[in-house]
A and B are shown apart, each in its own frame.
With several copies, the nearest count.
Chain A
């Protein structure tokens, strides 16, 4: 918390400026919603799964630049991955894919990981039924 203001990598800014996969999926196979307004970040992540492969991912995010960029990046990362592999995506992987995050913003990558996990669990619990 003592790092001073955030300075973002070019990659973060690129995803912030042109976020990929913004939106919702109608009747998604999995949805995850994490965060809360008190903290200033809310992420919703939607996935479509076909034969255990994630074919589509979309997000809606209320949050800072890093929250938007990590949302965008995580949706990119999961596309085409198996559910099993997607479950292994860590917050560090998201941050690294973005060329790093300021330490005060690492929690956004955690949020992205959690949103993804939550969507995957939603899918898994639904598919069990």
Chain B
């Protein structure tokens, strides 16, 4: 069976046109943008063109876009850079309990080593942050609020613009991790009302190891990588020219195809959700029913554990995930699913399917069929299923008894 890749939130294949755009910068136009001869200048021009394209796509100015080595670096840069540059103003940060590790671990580091206090806001059962909670959490020591645009595990899209109102009212800086949204749904820094925004392009048919941080003009931020004067002294290191060119090409393709593709994916997504819920008992959708990424399906399958489903899917050439790919080496169930209030069995039994450019309706149907088989098989093996069936039979009996009694 041909491989069915349903893990586009973890990473995506680089689009052939993106590879094509990058290739000349490896061998032909390999110059160093910092060099003054015309040869380096060609590379510099390519980088600046890319910067303008990325900026244009998110409604920013060129000089507000700094290229980084990926989404994680962008998140680190935003949080550490703002914390360091503004610590005279206060030592309090606000974020949520469902952020990506790149934000959460950076916050923990700032707590441990930077003398900062961090509020991790709860979310509701759909994974939504309540803007009022943000407002309530703000103190006169708060210097930064960081709320992700869309969650990588459950796909829930946050009301960033509403949250922004309260953050701006208080005169505080606002960062959003838009790694899962840029190029997938519309992102405009002014409409969102953010001062900093993280981008990674390997989630968007671009290369790994390159990303960007939007920094609103006038924002005080410390450099994260010190050294040469690349990126206006804010991010030292020889520019990854092919990577940056690839990033901008991926953005260009997204600009052309995004709105159509999002519609198509949302259809597939809804088909997959519906079929799973219809074909399998004891399955629950995680995340928000409609405020979710067009390509995200996250379900919990009762009585069976996620990894054993994943491995079985893999044996049938289907790639999916259980929570963030990053957390797969941890034994803890996903912090995101726990924040939703899921009982541990359900968190352990979660499956994430994230759709992409090459997926078809046919594949969706195959996945449902294969997964049904797998789940049936695993449930036979599961002590929880047995107990639950016993419990249910028990319950049914009671109900019948009560009905019986009532009838009497």
Interface residues of A (CB under 8 A from B): 1-8, 13, 16-17, 19, 22, 24, 33, 37-44, 60-65, 67-68, 104, 107
Contact = CB atoms under 8 A, between A and B. Distances in A.
B383 A2 contact: no
**Interface pairs A-B: 4 shortest CB-CB:** A64-B307, A40-B348, A37-B345, A60-B383
Contacts of B27: none
B308 A65 contact: yes
Interface in B35-49: 35-36, 40-41, 44
B382 A62 contact: yes
Given A60-B382, A68-B381, A1 B331 contact: yes
A42 B387 CA distance: 12
A62 B303 contact: yes
Nearest to A7: B41
A5 B32 CA distance: 11
B393 interface: no
Contact of A1 (B307, B330, B348, B384): B330
B56 interface: no
Interface in B321-339: 328-331, 333
Contacts of A1: 229, 329-331
A67 B331 CA distance: 12
A104 B233 CA distance: 14
Nearest to A39: B331
A41 B345 CA distance: 9
A28 B361 CA distance: 48
B406 interface: no
Nearest to B380: A22
A4 B233 CA distance: 9
Contacts of B308: 16, 63-65, 67-68
Given A37-B344, A37-B345, A62 B36 contact: no
Nearest to B333: A40
